[in-house]
Amino acid sequence: MTTKPQLYSLKMRASQQNNHISGAENIITEPELEEYCLRLLKRALQHSKGKPDFINLKIEAVQPEEILTLPAMPVHTITTDTPEAGMAAVRGQMERLGLAHIEEIMQIWQQSYAMRGAMLLDADTLQRLEPDPERGVRATYIDAQNLPGALAAKQGKNHFNEALVLATKVAHHPNIVAELCISDDPDYVTGYIAAKEIGYVRVTTLKPLGSPDGGRVFLFRGNQAELADCIDYLQHQKVLVQM
Ligand code: PML
Ligand code: MG
């Protein structure tokens, strides 16, 4: 009888004087662990945001029955040449979703640039919903499923693949209305708006090249019990995404 190898969640986060530099994660088998630890360590040490003075590698066992497997969201691309045109494209998608308070949400999005995690915002009352507003909420315990076509998502930094994995997990929760994202990497200007109704809509220019500004907002609609469920899902549910 052959036994399946033990699965592990591996997470890396790196910072410099408490400022976030880089974070990444995988869900992998025991034989892959050494290789992926090295990959994430190299990634922490070679980031365009600077040299970290703190690197944390966290390894936790995961049981197969704890994992939810989801198909990746459909992807669409809107090509824009300037941040202004990019932001206008995001506004257009928010209109398609029937969101009220679009301008307010666009303003509040900028407050997420200083946060470690994402902002969780009530889509209608605009109330901030994170238990710790400085830390924000983290959508974590995610990876691309280990299929041959998905290896690019697991090996080396691939902004698009990693974001599609995260966005697929986030949008799957019934009380998430949409997600807005700009990368905090100075050399990456493509961002997205994602939602169940519209899929993952990439917008190719959302900020000027060289800008370190970036952050995520998860728009929520629901009651208190649904909020608790949503935060627990985002932070604890293990998810593998079929790319
Ligand atoms: C990040 O750097 O964490 C966010 C990446 C956004 C990727 C957008 C895309 O290329 O589709
Ligand atoms: Mg980054």
Quick check: 1 pLDDT over 70?
no
pLDDT of residue 48: 81
pLDDT per residue as tens digits for the range 90-122: 999 999 999 999 999 999 999 999 788 999 999
Ligand nearest to the CA of 191: 1
Q: How far apart are CA 53 and CA 51, in angstroms?
A: 7
What mean pLDDT value characterizes the chain?
94
Tell which one of 75, 77, 112, 181 to mutate to probe ligand 1, the residue whose CB is within 8 A of the most ligand atoms: 181
pLDDT of residue 115: 87
Res. 175 pLDDT band, cuts 50 70 90:
very high
Report CA(78)–ligand 1 centroid distance (Å): 14
Report CA(106)–ligand 1 centroid distance (Å): 18
Res. 4 pLDDT band, cuts 50 70 90:
confident
Average confidence (pLDDT) over 152-181: 89
pLDDT of residue 114: 79
Which one has a higher pLDDT value, 152 or 6? 6
Tell which one of 188, 204, 211 to mutate to probe ligand 1, the residue whose CB is within 8 A of the most ligand atoms: 188
The pTM of the full predicted model, rounded to 2 decimals, is: 0.94
Domain ranges of the chain: 7-62, 68-242
pLDDT per residue as tens digits for the range 190-214: 999 999 999 999 999 999 999 999 9
pLDDT per residue as tens digits for the range 20-66: 899 999 999 999 999 999 999 999 999 888 899 999 999 999 999 99
Report the 3 state secondary structure along the chain: CCCCCCEEEEEEEEEECCEEEEEEEEEEEHHHHHHHHHHHHHHHHCCCCCCCCEEEEEEEEECHHHEEEEECCCEEEECCCCHHHHHHHHHHHHHHCCCCCHHHHHHHHHHHHHCCCEEEEECCCCCECCCCCCCCECCCCEEECCCHHHHHHHCCCCHHHHHHHHHHHHHHCCCEEEEEEECCCCCCCCEEEEECCCEEEEECCCCCCCCCCCEEEEEECCCHHHHHHHHHHHHHCEEEEEC
Residues near ion ligand 2 (CB < 5 Å) are 184-185
pLDDT per residue as tens digits for the range 142-153: 999 975 555 555
Residues flanking ligand 1, CB < 6 Å:
159-160, 163, 181, 183, 185, 188, 190-192, 202
